[in-house]
DNA sequence: CCAAAATATTGATTTTGTCAAAATTTTTAT
DNA sequence: ATAAAAATTTTGACAAAATCAATATTTTGG
């Protein structure tokens, strides 16, 4: 995975084992949480710490190398797919996240009325039930309180 | 404010002072945080607790009477404007939130590809700098780290 | 008005994440 | 290659936001 080294050099970021591990983990499993990334990285670098994961994720986000997704009431997830204007579907039950492309043609960065704001990002999250959970619910009957 | 009493009756929710206070506070100041709502309600009901505010907000959200907005890295905000498909502009500097209507005609509930999800909500947050903060930044020069 | 149900109060607890300082690693410049 | 400087990592304390749980109080429905 030499592309990560090149990418980091480009941003003048140190090339450390943990940092590369984070990027590899995210490439392998997009929309991972800190816990998930930590588990994967720790497998290779047993001495690593959760704080190092947090540090790196924050640094990478600041540099625009990765993107953070933070659904209501859930820990943050991260992805390496940046730069294109894609959005996310999230399942209310199992919390799975799936990428979805932007509206055809519709300019996502333009709200109807921007009230004078200088808008630089449109964050779009589609909430619903994923196919798998739709099946489970049907089979098991309603589990809602 | 009798509409709140009617609304609560409709949902078979108890008509308590704190609950009515929360709704009034939210009507008066949309996009309020728990702290802000607590401060307003406490003004009228000095014995109230923050937990009561949390309880009520959660209950009201569950019943679809109010909506929760939770921008990354910030405490939740709430609003009584529900049922219409409107979205939000949020200022990266002062965190002010402003309502904005949906794209003209574009069906917000329909992502390009829904991957089989049963989508029931499209949550759209436009990030940027509000007019007031644009002015401040220009006058004071860049304050960024 | 009274019993049952819902809500409020209080205080502990959890979760997610940041802060800070010393130790280590990486980079830069010889 | 090497030493100083800069960046990162490690460790542990800490903080904010929100939930949980138990008891007290209020609200509702008969």
Q: What is the CATH number of the domain that holds B63?
A: 1.10.10.10
Nucleotides in chain D near protein beta carbons (<7 Å): 7-12, 16-21, 26-29
Task: Decide if pLDDT at A122 tops 90.
Answer: no
For residue A140, pLDDT beyond 60: no
- Is residue A145 predicted with pLDDT exceeding 50? no
A60 and A106 part of one domain: no
**Domain coverage including residue B58:** 2-69
Nucleotides of C under 7 A from a protein CB: 6-11, 15-20, 25-28
Give the model confidence (pLDDT) of B66-121 as tens digits: 999 999 989 999 999 998 878 999 999 899 999 998 765 555 667 778 899 998 88
pLDDT band at B142 (very low <50, low <70, confident <90, very high): very low
Q: Is the pLDDT at A91 greater than 70, yes or no?
A: yes
What's the CATH code of the domain at B132? 3.30.1490.190
Kindly state the average pLDDT of the residues A93-102: 90
Is residue A16 in a domain? yes
pLDDT of A141 reads 44
- Nearest nucleotide from residue A52 CA, by C1' atom: D9
CB contact under 8 A, A111 and B120: no
Phi-psi region of B53 (alpha: psi -120 to 50; beta: other; left: phi over 0): alpha
For residue A28, pLDDT over 80 is answered with yes
Distance CA B6, CA B29 (A): 21
- Averaged over A95-105, what is the pLDDT? 81
Kindly list the protein residues whose beta carbon lies within 7 Å of any strand C atom.
A 12, 14-17, 33-34, 51, 54, 58, 70, 74-76; B 13-14, 16-19, 45, 47-52, 55-56, 59, 73
Gap from B62 CA to chain A (nearest CA, Å): 11
Query: Is B102 annotated as a binding-site member?
Result: no
- Establish if B28 belongs to a structural domain: yes
Instruction: Note the pLDDT of residue A64.
Output: 95
pLDDT score recorded for residue A83 = 84
Nucleotide nearest to B45 (CA to C1'): C8
Partner A, chain B 57-116, Cβ-Cβ below 8 Å: 68, 70, 72-73, 76, 87, 89, 91, 98, 100-104, 106, 109-116
Closest partner CB to A70 (pick from B72, B103, B115): B72
pLDDT tens for B28-62 read 999 999 999 999 999 999 999 999 999 999 999 99
Judge whether B62 and B54 are in contact, CB under 8 Å.
no
What does chain B come to in residues? 145
CA–CA gap between residue A83 and residue A69 (Å, rounded): 14
Query: For position A127, which CATH number holds?
Result: 3.30.1490
Q: Do A96 and A38 sit in the same domain of this protein? A: no
Residue B89 lies in a domain: yes
Looking at the fold, whether B6 and B63 belong to one and the same domain comes out as yes
What distances in angstroms separate CA B24 from CA A144, B37, B66, B102, B111, one per listed residue? Answer: 30, 9, 12, 26, 35
What is the reported pLDDT for B58?
97
CB contact under 8 A, A126 and B122: yes
Number of domains chain B contains? 2
Question: Of the candidates B126, B120, B84, B91, which has an alpha carbon nearest to the alpha carbon of residue A112?
Answer: B126
Contact B122, A124 (CB under 8 A): yes
Domain's final residue, options B28, B43, B69: B69
Neighbours of B36 (CB within 10 A): 17
pLDDT at A144: 39
Report pLDDT for B103: 65
Residue B76 included in any domain = no
């Amino acid at each position: 995975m030499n592309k990560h080294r090149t990418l980091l050099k480009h941003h003048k970021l140190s090339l450390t084992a943990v940092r590369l591990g984070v990027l590899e983990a995210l490439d392998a499993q997009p929309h991972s949480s800190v816990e998930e990334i930590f588990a994967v990285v720790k497998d290779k670098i047993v001495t690593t710490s959760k704080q190092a994961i947090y540090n790196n994720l924050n640094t990478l986000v600041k540099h625009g190398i990765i993107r953070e997704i933070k659904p209501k009431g859930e820990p943050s997830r991260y992805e390496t797919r940046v730069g294109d204007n894609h959005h996310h579907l999230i399942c209310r039950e199992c919390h799975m996240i799936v990428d979805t492309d932007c509206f055809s043609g519709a300019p996502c960065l333009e709200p109807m009325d921007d009230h004078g704001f200088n808008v630089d990002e449109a964050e779009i999250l589609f909430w619903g039930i994923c196919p798998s959970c739709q099946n489970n619910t049907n089979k098991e009957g309603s589990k809602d309180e």
